[in-house]
Amino acid sequence: MKLVFATHNPNKLREIQQLVPSTIQLISLDGIGCMTEIAETSNTLEGNARIKADFVTDTYQLPCFADDTGLLVDSLNGEPGVFSARYAGSKNNAEANMDKLLAKMTGQENRNAHFKTVIALNLNGETHLFEGKIDGTITTKKNGINGFGYDPIFAPNGYEQTFAELPLSVKNEISHRAQAFKKLIAYLKTINVAR
């Protein structure tokens, strides 16, 4: 089965490809010739995931799933949330986003935060939502070179290392995205698509 993952991000695609059963062939937006930057105009993660999946399904008539992820920091009332990718501006600059967040967290004793991912799947004329969440803390400085986004400043609960310091195999077991994606795969298996 061919299934479009609505992303241009090669890091995301690589991370998810390790979790996909061999019966599913994942295709990126680049793989279907979609160079459009799909505007994420919703004020919720769920809404943004639906916008991206709907665009692909409506435009290319292909089964598709899309995700949206946010980092929500308790002491900042849930910032950066839906604006996580463009927290420091529209250029989606991970370094600038982390620098802004660390600056806003200066002097904060409560460094609790969580990542949340929502996946919207459009398949057979229906939309299904899958969610994953992981709690952790914001570190005081960047640590590690793996991963992407806020990984160098997020330490998941139960680990001393940040996501950027943990091996990808460990991150893929515990991450918010992995949790949501495992629910997606479990659903696909129930309808005999992934068998």
pLDDT digits (tens, 9 = 90+) for 136-153: 999 999 999 988 899 999
Range with the poorest average pLDDT among 4-13, 58-67, 117-126, 157-166: 4-13
Q: Is the pLDDT of residue 194 over 70?
A: no
pLDDT digits (tens, 9 = 90+) for 19-52: 777 778 889 999 999 998 888 899 999 999 999 9
Return the SS3 of 43. Answer: coil
Structure tokens at 41: 């105009």
Largest alpha-carbon pair distance within the chain?
A: 52
User: Is residue 84 a contact partner of residue 150, using CB atoms and an 8 Å limit?
Assistant: yes
pTM equals 0.87
Round to whole Å and give the CA distance between 190 and 195: 9
Measured from the Cβ of residue 169, the count of other Cβ atoms closer than 10 Å reads 8
What does the domain layout of the chain look like in residue ranges? Answer: 2-190
Structure tokens at 165: 């310091």
Compute the radius of gyration of the chain from its Cα atoms: 17
pLDDT digits (tens, 9 = 90+) for 60-119: 999 999 999 999 999 999 999 999 999 998 777 999 999 999 999 999 999 999 999 999
Q: What fold does the segment set 2-190 form as a domain?
A: Maf protein (3.90.950)
More confident residue, 122 or 19: 122
Determine phi and psi for 61, rounding to 5 degrees. Answer: 55, 45
Structure tokens at 36: 């459009």
Alpha helices in 23-71 (DSSP H): 45-60
User: Is residue 118 a contact partner of residue 125, using CB atoms and an 8 Å limit?
Assistant: no
The active-site residue out of 54, 58, 67, 68 is 68
Return the SS3 of 87. Answer: coil
User: Is 68 marked active-site?
Assistant: yes
The b-or-e profile of 56-72 (16+ CB within 10 A means b, else e) is bbeeeeebbbbbbbbbb
